[in-house]
Structure 1
Amino acid sequence: MAIPVIDFSRLDGDERAAALAEIAAGFEEWGFFQLVNTGIPDELLERVKKVCTDCYKLREEGFNRSNPAVKALAALVEQEGEGLAPRKVEGMDWEDVFTLHDDLPWPSIPPTFKETMMEYRTELKKLAEKMLGVMEELLGLEEGQITKVFSKDGDFEPFYGTKVSHYPPCPRPEMVDGLRAHTDAGGLILLFQDDRVGGLQVLGRDGRWADVQPVENAIVINTGDQIEVMSNGRYKSAWHRVLATRDGNRRSIASFYNPARAATIAPAIPAAADSGDYPSFSFGDYMEVYIKQKFQDKEPRFAAAAATKNMVD
């Protein structure tokens, strides 16, 4: 099974209707698809690859020396050598990660990191806003409606953050997760993944894991839990995970266009005939639940956030 790869430039030509149909199918059938020809210069994407790889090289020694997953795996391998049955590392991920927010300090080395990543984040934000417009069109919403909800009628800025991750080579990948299976909490996620080292998988509607195949300079799109609620289940957030690998060093740069914490999230379209409406809640309340239950079923998270809102009301 191959995740759809869609030529984003077709939206501006005679093939717009066909491209919209492909995007709609990507949202509905997978919750994941890849965009090529997004308008982001390849030259910029190549610079992003370089500065993020260079930045990780400066962090690699620290990861190998002090990452909890590295220590836990070494301890389990030692126990295995003593004759104990092999076990899997629980509750940890084989991931080196840091975040980029506009109001927090950024790495200053390599020297071109901040300049390059600021330029990249500007381009990704434009793409996110275009994709929200496409989503509104497909769902029959008013233009700008999702951003209006995310900003609480313009009172706050939607949250926009970026997570830079590397998944270094793992000596025993069968014993640890690169990143445990989860759905994303927020709105729209735009991922610039490694175009050589795989490992990202999405859970298909048939219950089987499928690889999100590396595609050079593509941007992977997926929806978070808040879009599932706003679309009343039409665009479900997809479970996904990253496998640890013995060879290669996987780069992953995920940007999140999320509601402001004060935003109220509620269904914006009618429910399907065979299902009921999703609950409404504040995104801040949802995040309080999510940080404790990220790797658990999402339906109880919706219910818990709604219960908090009802108590306040």
Structure 2
Amino acid sequence: MPIPVIDFSKLNGEEREKTMAEIANGCEEWGFFQLVNHGIPVELLERVKKVTTECYKVEREENFFKDSTPVKLLKELIEKNGEEKLENLDWEDVFLLTDDNEWPPKTPGFKETMTEYRAELKKLAEKLMEVMDENLGIPKGHIKKLFNGGDEETAFFGTKVSHYPPCPHPERVTGLRSHTDAGGVILLFQDDVVGGLEILKDGKWTDVQPIPNAICINTGDQIEVLSNGRYKSVWHRVQAVPNGTRRSIASFYNPSYNATIEPASQLIQKENKEVNHFGYPKFVFGDYMSVYTEQKFLPKEPRFEAVKAAN
């Protein structure tokens, strides 16, 4: 069952209504879909592939296989001839890019390319949030304003650069354990050759098929709350694979830590305005992140209950 693939360029043409419906379906029925013809130049995407791959090889790969905890623990497990699986870690090399942290210094063109790429991704995220506003029937700009905690630009935009190296015993460890994302809109530029990403759909794990230069979109927990459950955050994971290194670049348009998140008033039935029967609470995003950090790989409903109880 393939993940929906949507031609984003048709949003501004004669097929706008159809494209809007496709995005609504992707958000409501899947929580995960892929955009093609999204407006980000292919030439830029090729540079992103190049600099992130070079960065991993030059600055990260040796240390992963020499010093990383997953490699050490997997080696110990195999030497013991144990049957168990490594449960509480991921077979992943990862670092975060934000506007104010230190970036890898040794890869030529890395900072320039990724700065340009992040700017394009942020614009795409804001376009998608406007589409979601319209599809949900809430005021234009509502999601962006909520995430910024007002009119100032305070929302968090981060980019996680991950590589999943070939694993000698993929049956013993997961590339990335199953979870839902804490934040808002997630834009993933995944490897177009090495697979491994799966989402949970109707109780079954489904592959997210690699498509060259597509951007995968998924919605996080905060979109679930503000949509009053209409758009669900989806469980996903990455399987370790024995051959090939998987590249994965996930960018997150998240609320600022001070932003107050709650269901949009237009999406709460009039008779239920005081009591939302599912119980999506009103909370400060920073408080939610404190809970999420401890419970990322656990069911999400107790996270909502925890911030509800704290307010």
TM-score relative to the length of structure 2: 0.96
- Separation in structure 1 between the aligned mates of residue 115 and residue 150 of structure 2, nearest angstrom: 27
- Separation in structure 1 between the aligned mates of residue 87 and residue 149 of structure 2, nearest angstrom: 38
Task: Quote the residue 1:214 is aligned against.
Answer: 210
Q: Which runs of 5+ in 2 are unaligned?
A: none
State the Cα deviation string for residues 227-261 of structure 1 (Å, max 9, x = none). Answer: 00000000000000000000010000000000000
CA 1:275–1:5 in 2, change beyond 3 Å: closer, same or farther?
Answer: farther
CA shift at 1:185, angstroms? 0.1
Percent identical among aligned pairs is 64
Task: Quote the residue 1:124 is aligned against.
Answer: 121
152-161 or 95-104, larger mean C-alpha shift: 152-161
Q: 1:176 aligns with which of 168, 173, 177?
A: 173
Q: 1:243 aligns with which of 214, 239, 242?
A: 239
Q: Which runs of 5+ in 1 are unaligned?
A: none
Q: SS at the partner of 1:91?
A: coil
Task: Quote the residue 1:7 is aligned against.
Answer: 7
State the Cα deviation string for residues 133-188 of structure 1 (Å, max 9, x = none). Answer: 00000001111111111111125510000000000000000000000000000000
230-239 or 261-270, larger mean C-alpha shift: 261-270
Decide whether the 8 Å contact of 1:190 with 1:255 is kept in 2: yes
1:57 partnered with 2:57 = yes
CA shift at 1:107, angstroms? 1.0
- Aligned amino acid, residue 66 of structure 1: D
Give the total of aligned pairs.
304
1:196 partnered with 2:197 = no
- Separation in structure 1 between the aligned mates of residue 9 and residue 153 of structure 2, nearest angstrom: 31
Structure 1: 4+ residue segments shifted above 4 A: 271-275
Task: Quote the residue 2:147 is aligned against.
Answer: 150
Task: Quote the residue 1:42 is aligned against.
Answer: 42
- Separation in structure 1 between the aligned mates of residue 137 and residue 258 of structure 2, nearest angstrom: 25
Q: Within 5 Å, which residues of 2 pair with 1:61-76? A: 61-76=62-77
Task: Quote the residue 2:296 is aligned against.
Answer: 294
- Separation in structure 2 between the aligned mates of residue 270 and residue 163 of structure 1, nearest angstrom: 32
